[in-house]
Structure 1
């Protein structure tokens, strides 16, 4: 990957910006050292009052802690929320129209983050997803930010999401001065996963179906993106399934060729999707998500199963084909996905489990917007 740099002109500019930044900062709270998800020790004044979100979808965790006013600390954010989750974006926008006025940034991974703009916003911290770490290090972003007095911390809800969600939420809770709220969320998160994993662990001679997880099916003409042993791949395993791609994809994300899918003949297929109209207008993607048109999503899901990799496999013949909201792969609500996958894989074992009710409870207890159904569909559903 070619290293890219911030739009900043020379050492003199950096020094001037540093002085401007420091002059504009009032006496903050307590200065503490925190360890981010990579183990880096970072000095931050807490509670932070001005935050730049390295990804717009980080509002998923911001909203879980600052429930009454999820944007009160956000002085800038990446421009991905609307594009990646249009339905969710519009729900937040209707209740919090002020979010449309928050300055947006490009990404550090593509080198379009503007450090001069960031400095003018006087952030107390930048929260960055771990998948941007390599690009950040290659381009010297940490050093450039340090020169102008801006700390950066990494969180992770994507690469090793089941392992890093709890420590990431605790870190954000410490930054926000919301440690108790973060602990309440972590307790709820873990208890909801245990409702699946405890049952799986106690069930003797459990027959585990082979599952093919297709990442963003229909987003492009390529077939077929999937997950290795982490992210949705890990969710499948926790839900009592065998992830087809676990031994094929060495990392978190990768591709499985159509011939391998046919040869593996999976028992179940789960496709991730969302409303990606702003990314791929009129695309074949399955638009599940908050308030989705389930009939249309089901129709598009059925159409995807007409591709050569799927037409003759067991899952399609039996109707065990499902779609689930893609953004579960990048937020702290994965427990809802685990419950729904478990219900698909083992309907008799989890007949009393209601993932919709779990997601509703999450919204009622922690989130600033109302729940809207539409996050999952199945070809076995009634029309």
Structure 2
């Protein structure tokens, strides 16, 4: 960035300090252990990942009203989810893109031009450049916090939501969400207590099934931790060293996984499986059948035995993943978890928390003999 642009932005960035006398400071410790002080509750937030507006929506009645810039991930990578946000809050169309949420990362110049009094970055979304971006923004006097629901959601979700609750002035609601999240996870964990390795089914997670070349799958990361927690064994983790990668079709077929789980949503209508906001269950189920056939997965024992499913890909980066964990546990361990009710959890999230409700089919299953 040219020096004159930085100098021009600095007086604007200093403006929040003018109201420090009217409101007490907010001190938070983010998930990286950084202690950050805000002079007051933020009114102009930049999100490194736009999808984190969905996490804010669990706590705030109008999260979009606080956002003055965000990454391109919702508009570019998840058009159906973005359509849901703008349907509820049309002002989303006026929020400028400040850079790529992945790859080259955010533009520091665009972030500063938005005149934020807080920048929220993701450990997962910002990749390896997260620490450098935090340092560069903080050096200019702008508070920066890091949250994460992707890299290690089983560890960091509640901590991240507590941080968001503090900065948004919604601590009581954050505590209520923490209680729901903890209760749902404890119920699953208690059902699966004592589960032996031999009792864990081999699970093929087919990421963005039908929308990208076969066969994308998670390695060690978000989905892997959730599959393990829900009582399964992630096939991808045995071959993929990173968080995501490719499995050869021949390998998948020879491994004969016990459960097949496709993810859908972003590529709905573009070869993938539509799932998520506004999606009809019958439409999603029909697309799942087509994708399985096109991907040559129809010979898998999981498919023949009625253990083929699809779930909304967005669960891999939202605190609402409690819904996914319940669905996975039902599929992996029906004898222990068959009575779990993810639909009831969605209803409770909508009633008590979400200002952007979850409406539409977020998961589907195929009965035996569907193909």
TM over 0.5: yes
Quick check: 320-329 or 346-355, which moved more?
Answer: 346-355
Tell me how far apart the structure 2 counterparts of residues 160 and 64 of structure 1 sit (CA, whole Å).
19
In structure 2, the partner of 1:234 is: 225
Quick check: 182-191 or 97-106, which moved more?
Answer: 97-106
> How far has the Cα of 1:160 moved from its partner?
0.7
Match of 2:259 among 254, 265, 268: 268
In structure 1, the partner of 2:215 is: 224
Equivalent residues of 1:289, 1:374 under 8 A apart:
yes
**Does residue 341 of structure 2 align to residue 354 of structure 1?**
yes
Unaligned stretches of 5+ residues in structure 2: none
Matches within 5 A, 1:1-383: 8-10=1-3, 12-23=4-15, 26-28=18-20, 29-66=23-60, 68-107=61-100, 109-111=102-104, 113-131=106-124, 132-137=126-131, 140-201=132-193, 207-220=199-212, 222-276=213-267, 282-307=269-294, 310-380=297-367
Q: Tell me: CA distance 1:348–1:117, structure 2 relative to 1, closer, same or farther (3 Å).
A: same
Tell me how far apart the structure 1 counterparts of residues 263 and 358 of structure 2 sit (CA, whole Å).
20
Tell me how far apart the structure 2 counterparts of residues 375 and 109 of structure 1 sit (CA, whole Å).
25
Tell me how far apart the structure 1 counterparts of residues 74 and 296 of structure 2 sit (CA, whole Å).
31
Q: Tell me: CA distance 1:13–1:121, structure 2 relative to 1, closer, same or farther (3 Å).
A: closer
| 1:264-289 Cα shifts (integer Å, max 9, x gaps) | 11011001110436xxxx42211111
| 1:184-237 Cα shifts (integer Å, max 9, x gaps) | 1111111112222211116689832211111111122x2211122431222222
Equivalent residues of 2:45, 2:120 under 8 A apart:
yes
Tell me how far apart the structure 1 counterparts of residues 154 and 342 of structure 2 sit (CA, whole Å).
18
Equivalent residues of 1:63, 1:366 under 8 A apart:
yes
Unaligned stretches of 5+ residues in structure 1: 1-7
| 1:52-99 Cα shifts (integer Å, max 9, x gaps) | 111111111111111x22223212222322344333333332232222
Equivalent residues of 1:108, 1:135 under 8 A apart:
no
Equivalent residues of 1:356, 1:373 under 8 A apart:
no
Does the residue aligned with 2:204 lie in a helix, a strand or coil? strand
Q: How many equivalent pairs are there?
A: 367
Does the residue aligned with 1:226 lie in a helix, a strand or coil? strand
Tell me how far apart the structure 2 counterparts of residues 46 and 310 of structure 1 sit (CA, whole Å).
54
| 1:3-33 Cα shifts (integer Å, max 9, x gaps) | xxxxx213x4323321343257531343454
Q: Tell me: CA distance 1:178–1:312, structure 2 relative to 1, closer, same or farther (3 Å).
A: same
Tell me how far apart the structure 1 counterparts of residues 103 and 230 of structure 2 sit (CA, whole Å).
35
RMSD (Å), alpha carbons: 2.5
Does the residue aligned with 1:296 lie in a helix, a strand or coil? helix
Tell me how far apart the structure 2 counterparts of residues 98 and 303 of structure 1 sit (CA, whole Å).
37
Tell me how far apart the structure 2 counterparts of residues 231 and 289 of structure 1 sit (CA, whole Å).
19
Does the residue aligned with 1:157 lie in a helix, a strand or coil? coil
Does the residue aligned with 1:94 lie in a helix, a strand or coil? helix
Quick check: 305-314 or 175-184, which moved more?
Answer: 305-314
Q: Tell me: CA distance 1:23–1:289, structure 2 relative to 1, closer, same or farther (3 Å).
A: closer
Equivalent residues of 1:84, 1:274 under 8 A apart:
no
Does the residue aligned with 2:39 lie in a helix, a strand or coil? strand
Equivalent residues of 2:17, 2:39 under 8 A apart:
no
Equivalent residues of 2:49, 2:73 under 8 A apart:
yes
Equivalent residues of 1:18, 1:147 under 8 A apart:
no
